Amino acid sequence: MKWIDIAKEVKSAEEILKNVIYKTPLDRSNTLSRMTGGEIYLKLENFQKTGAFKVRGAYYKINKLSLEEKSKGVIAASAGNHAQGVAYAASAAGIKSTIVMPIFAPASKIAATRSYGAEVILHGLIYDESYKKALEISNETGAVFIHPFDDPYVIAGNGTVGLEVINDLPDMDMIIVPVGGGGLISGIASIIKSIKTTVKVIGVEPEAAPKFTTSLKAGHIVEVEAKRSLADGLLTKKPGDLTFSIVSELVDDVITVTEDEIAMSMVLLMERAKTIAEGAGAASVAALVSGKIDVKGKKVVAVISGGNADLTTLYKVIMRGLAKMKRIVIIKCVLPDVPGTLKSVLEIIASERGNIIDISHSRIDPRLEPGSAEVQLLVEIPEPEAINRIEERMRKSGYTIISIIS
C-alpha cells in the first residue's frame, strides 16, 4: 500500500475510531513558545485511552480482521504502549490477546497490559527480540500478529492523530513527531502531506537508537545497536520496510536527542505544562528545547505520544532533569569534625535559600586527615548563581570543597 492509499485509509479509520477513542487536546504552550520563539502547540496523546496513541492503530487493525482471524486471537510484541493498545482493542472485540514484552519493560506497563485482559510473556532485552518470539508463537498457534508499526492499517489508525491536528490548526507550519519504528510519523505524514504539502514533518529519535537517521543517510535500511534509554518506546534496531519507504518520501528531517535532553523535557512538561509524558512522548519537546530545530516565527505542533511513565523511573528522571537544569547540586567538602561546623555550613546554604535534601558523612577514608570528615550535601537551589555565592562563602570560611556536581 502506498502512502496516498494510507492517507485515504486514515479518513476511514477516523469514522471507525470516533466513538472509541478520545479526540485529544491541542494545547498552546506559552512556556515553550517563549523559550523557542515559535508558536508551540502540544498534541496531548498522553491523554488518550491506555495513555498513548497506540490504541488508534491497534483498534483499527483488529477491526479490519475477519471473523475467522478474530477467532484465533491476536498476538503482539511491544515495550508497553502497543501492548496496552492491542490488549484494550482485543478486549473490546471479545477476542484473546497475547503480548510479548521485553524483560526490562516498565513494571507499570506490564501491569497495565495484564489489566486489559492480555496474557503477557516476558522475553528478550529489547523489542526486536520480543518480536521474534511473538512471530514464533503466531506460527505455532495461528494467532494473528499485530505489528506495532509496519502495517498499513496500524499506520492509518495512527494517522488520525495528524488528521485531528490539521483540522484543529490548518495553518500550522510544522509538526514534530517521536519516532520508534515509524508507525506514527508515517501515518501523520501521509495524511498531512495529502492535505497540505508545505507542512514540515520532523521526526525525533533517541541517540540510543538512531535507526532512521542512520538508514536515511545510507539510503537503505540499516540495523543499529539499540542501547537502553528513557525513551524505551522508541527503541528498535531498524525501521520497518513500509515505514522507511514512507518516511524517505514524505518526512522532511529526522534528528536525534540525548538522554539528558529527554529528562529535562519530561521535567519541563511536568513543571510548566502540568502534564506527564514518558520519555518517548517527551522526545518532540526535547528537540524543541535543545534548539536543534529552528521554529522561530512558526506555528509548530509537538506530538506528546504517550504518558505511561513508570513512577520509579519518574523519580530518577526528575532528579536528573533538575540537576541538568542546575536546580539541584551535590556539594562534597571536607570539614573539621567538631561541633558547630556543619551548622555553620548549613547556615551559609540557608542564607542563599538553598534547601538540604540529603546529607551523608564519611570519617573512615584513609585520605582524610585525623579530625576531619568528608560531607556530601544534596542541595536544592533557587537559581544557578546561588551555588557560586555558596562556594565563595564556604571557601572564605576556610572549608575545603572537593567538588560541586550539577
CB atoms within 10 A of CB 401: 13
Nearest to 202 by CA among 254, 279, 258, 265: 254
Q: Is 54 a catalytic residue?
A: yes
Q: How far apart are CA 235 and CA 255, in angstroms?
A: 15
Partner residues linked to 403 by β-bridges: 332
| C-alpha cell recorded at residue 290 | 535543545
Nearest to 316 by CA among 228, 375, 257: 228
- Eight-state DSSP code of residue 339: T
Q: How far apart are CA 176 and CA 105, in angstroms?
A: 25
Q: How far is CA 227 from CA 125, 144, 236, in A?
A: 10, 29, 9
Among the options 29, 215, 305, 372, which is catalytic? 305
Can you spell out the DSSP letters for 262-310?
A: HHHHHHHHHHHS-----HHHHHHHHHHHTT-S--TT-EEEEEE-B----
Q: Is 396 a catalytic residue?
A: no
- CA 40-42-48 angle, to 5 degrees, is 170
Among the options 29, 43, 49, 54, which is catalytic? 54
Please give the single-letter amino acid code of residue 80.
G
Who's near 205: CB < 8 A, 6+ residues apart? Answer: 178, 179, 180, 211, 212, 213, 231, 234, 254, 255, 256, 257, 283
Contact 280, 234 (CB under 8 A): yes
- Helix axis angle for 241-250 and 183-195, nearest 10°, is 40
Q: How far is CA 341 from the centre of its chain?
A: 45
Contact 144, 4 (CB under 8 A): no
Active-site residue list: 54, 305
